[in-house]
């Protein structure tokens, strides 16, 4: 990913899906730490301020580092709350836009974690996206937001609401002299076993990638380690730090490889 984000202005990566619980916040955190370990400066935004998963993850990391007198990379983080008053939404959109633009001038990468439902913060953030990463599990229920498929015949009936949204964003970006949006659909929480269901989903995704213009990252497996590190604010990338005295298992090493591979996959070449 080095070439893309080493330019002066930050490369903006938006994690999104109009579907809850697919791994947006977990992947946001891991990517932020991965890029910082590579020497890039990173700012993060949590646009799901009410839930605040990414914000809490980063707060936990700060606390843990202070308690343990540890020096781990921590991104410059902004938590954004949804404005409920309809009269103030225009102003709130502008505020978000100027916060992103300001960080764009000062960091190599910006990672934006979004809520699982569309709102004005969700929409506004995509206007700055260079890369959109869409985590998706190996469950047919997740595929629904990408496309409506007749599973008897395999025919794609119509794009799902989220693909329609990304299409609109692509059109908008084209009017802003950004003809290319690097859209990546990333399998997450994938079962360890080869199943008919998983094979079917990935073959649908392969076809959809050509139809709707995304690149398919094979994915991150369902690993308990992704769930265990939240309270300390750690990621699988921190575990080989000598001070943590953590015994790396095969699964930890594999998880680290998955995240590293995703960070590398961001560069389209």
Ligand X SMILES: Nc1ncnc2c1ncn2[C@@H]1O[C@H](COP(=O)(O)OP(=O)(O)OP(=O)(O)O)[C@@H](O)[C@H]1O
Q: Which listed option, Mg ion, ligand X, none, makes contact with residue 26 (CB within 5 to 8 Å by class)?
A: ligand X
Which lies closer to Mg ion via its Cβ, residue 108 or residue 114? 114
Least CB distance to Mg ion at residue 53 (A): 4
Residue ranges in 5-64 that form contacts with ligand X under rule CB under 6 A: 20-26, 48, 51, 53
Which lies closer to ligand X via its Cβ, residue 173 or residue 201? 201
Q: How many residues bind ligand X (CB under 6 A)?
A: 19
Least CB distance to ligand X at residue 263 (A): 15
Which lies closer to ligand X via its Cβ, residue 23 or residue 75? 23
- Structure-token match 């991150």, residue found: 220
E strand or H helix at 201: helix 196-212
SS3 content of the chain, % helix, strand, coil (to 5): 45, 15, 40
Residue ranges in 209-228 that form contacts with ligand X under rule CB under 6 A: 220, 222-223, 226-227
Which lies closer to ligand X via its Cβ, residue 131 or residue 173? 131
Which lies closer to ligand X via its Cβ, residue 26 or residue 125? 26
Mapped onto helix, strand or coil, the DSSP state of residue 45 is strand
CA dist 43 and 218 (Å) reads: 26
Least CB distance to Mg ion at residue 111 (A): 12
Residue nearest to Mg ion (CB): 25
Residue ranges in 80-109 that form contacts with ligand X under rule CB under 6 A: none
E strand or H helix at 134: strand 131-136
Q: Which listed option, Mg ion, ligand X, none, makes contact with residue 103 (CB within 5 to 8 Å by class)?
A: none
Given its phi and psi angles, is residue 169 left (phi above 0), alpha (psi -120 to 50 degrees) or beta? alpha
CA dist 71 and 65 (Å) reads: 6
CA dist 114 and 154 (Å) reads: 31
Given its phi and psi angles, is residue 204 left (phi above 0), alpha (psi -120 to 50 degrees) or beta? alpha
Paired sense of beta strands 131-136 and 11-15, if any: parallel
Least CB distance to ligand X at residue 226 (A): 4
- Residues in contact with ligand X by the rule CB under 6 A: 20-26, 48, 51, 53, 115-116, 188-189, 220, 222-223, 226-227
């Amino acid at each position: 990913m080095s070439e893309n984000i080493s330019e002066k202005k930050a490369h903006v990566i938006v994690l999104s899906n109009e579907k809850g619980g697919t791994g947006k916040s977990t992947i946001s955190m891991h990517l932020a730490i991965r890029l910082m370990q590579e020497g890039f400066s990173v700012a993060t935004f949590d646009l799901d301020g009410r839930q605040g998963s990414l914000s809490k993850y980063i707060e936990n990391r700060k606390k843990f580092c202070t308690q343990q007198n540890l020096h781990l990379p921590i991104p410059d983080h902004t938590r954004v709350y949804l404005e409920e008053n309809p009269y103030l939404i225009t102003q709130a959109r502008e505020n978000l836009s100027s916060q992103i633009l300001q960080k764009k001038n000062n960091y190599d990468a910006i990672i934006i974690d979004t809520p699982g439902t569309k709102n004005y913060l969700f929409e506004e953030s995509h206007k700055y996206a260079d890369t959109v990463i869409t985590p998706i599990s190996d469950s047919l229920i997740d595929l629904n937001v990408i496309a409506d498929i007749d599973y008897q015949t395999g025919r794609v009936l119509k794009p799902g609401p989220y693909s329609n949204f990304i299409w609109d964003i692509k059109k908008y970006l084209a009017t802003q002299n950004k003809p290319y949006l690097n859209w990546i659909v990333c399998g997450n929480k994938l079962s360890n076993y080869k199943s008919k269901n998983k094979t079917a989903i990935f073959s649908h995704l392969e076809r959809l990638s050509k139809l709707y213009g995304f690149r398919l990252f094979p994915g991150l497996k369902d690993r308990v380690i992704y769930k265990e590190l939240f309270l300390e604010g750690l990621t699988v990338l921190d575990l080989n730090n000598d001070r943590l005295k953590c015994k790396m298992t095969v699964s930890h090493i594999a998880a680290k490889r998955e995240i590293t591979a995703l960070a590398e996959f961001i560069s389209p070449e």
